[in-house]
A = this chain, B = another copy of it.
Amino acid sequence: MIQSEPANNLFLKACRREEVDRTPVWFMRQAGRYLPEYRAIRAKADFLTLCKTPDLAAEVTVQPVDLIGVDAAIIFSDILVVPEAMGMQLVVEEGKGGPRFPSPVRSKSDIDKLSVQNACSSLGYVFDAIRLARKRLNNKVPLIGFAGAPWTIASYMVEGRNPRDFRHIKELIYSNPHEAHALLDKLSTVVTSYLSAQIEAGAQAIQIFDTWGGVLGQEEFEEFSLRYIHRIISSVKRNNAPIIVFCKNCGHSLEKIANSGADVVGLDWTTDIGKAREMVGSFVALQGNLDPTILFSTPERIESGVKTVLKKFGKGNGHIFNLGHGILPETPVENVKTFVNAVKKFSTAFH
């Protein structure tokens, strides 16, 4: 696919820390349940069917661009399609506490069984969805691809469900670090091919989500998570697509994350974006970092929250506005629009 710059290239420019006339904005889970138009489609198809039907996945991907006015789209999918493609049974039942793996990874033979070679070929529906979404976006805004960080995916695979105490995955790293590394190594290989193929299919940037990096001590984070993120970044065939790394609750390792080779570092709301810019802003762009729950408050409070983040980052380039974590499903749409419009309105003064 020819990589011509989209009509609205604020997001890509900000990733490269180039000059822009306002701060671009998108947000995690922007194609999601807070949108009535998304819920209308979900009424016709369950979550995994939606992920695996390129036409529908592309449709919900484009929704927030048209409806909310974000400056980038992110392909609708789930980080857990990767372990499914590696051979695990993935079950998503409505209202039953999120996706789960009925047979979690708990032994060396479970790890050995995981397929690496054929994983990407089972994920063709994602690449098809990317191609379709690119077509429908018509180069209006860029399209972001994504994958989970190996540590985060492994946490789900070993716990078997949305992890709470991380007892099993931690038991694995503490008792059998060699096996843990074998698992993370396999995941890194698949994620590398998967992200490269997403870029090949048309993703113009990619984000690596390490939702669970923050449950590790600092040394364990480096050994079991960041090391693999680093390896993926150095191997992904970029074709100029910038790479965003988002590790939740990992403010303690900001400098190391910024040195992973990422172009952009995503911040949750517990890191001060002003201090983060001082530390690493000379060599990476920063993405974030409004607390998503602020979107349950008043228009005035949302606007003042946006202004606070803008002021903390300060004047200049290399800032992509985002929430500090995924938007919550119950968020009122009007407040989401207030948020996006506030970024557009108030950020011009900082450029």
How distant is A251 from chain B, measured CB to nearest CB, in Å?
6
Contact of A170 among B167, B217, B291 (CB under 8 A): B291
User: Are A296 and B251 within 8 A (Cβ)?
Assistant: no
Q: Shortest beta-carbon distance, A217 to chain B, in Å?
A: 5
Q: Mark A216-239, 1 if CB is under 8 A from B, else 0.
A: 111010000000000000000000
A residues neighboring B (CB under 8 Å) = 165-167, 170-171, 174-175, 214-218, 220, 249, 251-252, 269-272, 291, 293-294, 296-298, 301, 305, 328, 330
From A167, A217, A294, A330, name the one whose CB has the most chain B CB atoms within 10 angstroms: A217
- The answer to whether B170 touches A293 (Cβ under 8 A) is yes
Report which of B167, B214, B251, B269 forms a contact with A293, defined as CB distance below 8 A: B167
Q: Are B296 and A174 in contact (CB under 8 A)?
A: yes
CA gap between A293 and B165 in the complex, in Å: 8
Find chain B residues with CB under 8 A from A174 CB. 291, 293-294, 296-298, 301, 305
Q: A271-B252, A301-B175 are in contact. Are A328 and B167 (CB under 8 A)?
A: yes
Enumerate chain B residues within 8 angstroms of A252, measured Cβ to Cβ. 251-252, 270-272
Contact of A171 among B165, B215, B270, B293 (CB under 8 A): B293
Contact of A293 with B218 in the complex, beta carbons under 8 Å: no
In angstroms, Cα B269 to Cα A249, docked, is: 13
User: Which chain B residues lie closer than 8 Å to A214 at the CB level?
Assistant: 249, 270
> What B residues does A305 contact at CB under 8 A?
174
Chain B residues with Cβ under 8 A from A298's Cβ? Answer: 174-175
Docked Cα-Cα span, A296 to B170, in Å, equals 8
Q: Which residues of B contact A220 (CB under 8 A)?
A: 291
CA distance A154 to B175 in the complex (A): 38
Write out the residue numbers on chain B whose beta carbons fall within 8 Å of the beta carbon of A251: 251-252
**CB-nearest residue of chain B relative to A216?**
B270
A295 to B215, CA, bound (A): 16
Nearest chain B CB to A195 CB, angstrom units: 27
Alpha-carbon gap, A328 to B218, bound state (A) = 21
- A-B contacts, 29 of them at CB < 8 A, read A165-B293, A165-B328, A166-B293, A167-B296, A167-B330, A170-B293, A170-B294, A170-B296, A171-B293, A171-B297, A174-B291, A174-B294, A174-B296, A174-B298, A174-B301, A174-B305, A175-B296, A175-B297, A175-B298, A214-B249, A215-B270, A216-B270, A217-B270, A220-B291, A249-B249, A249-B270, A251-B251, A252-B252, A252-B272
| CB nearest to A325 among chain B residues | B165
Least CB distance from A108 to B in Å reads 16
Residue of B nearest to A162 (CB): B164
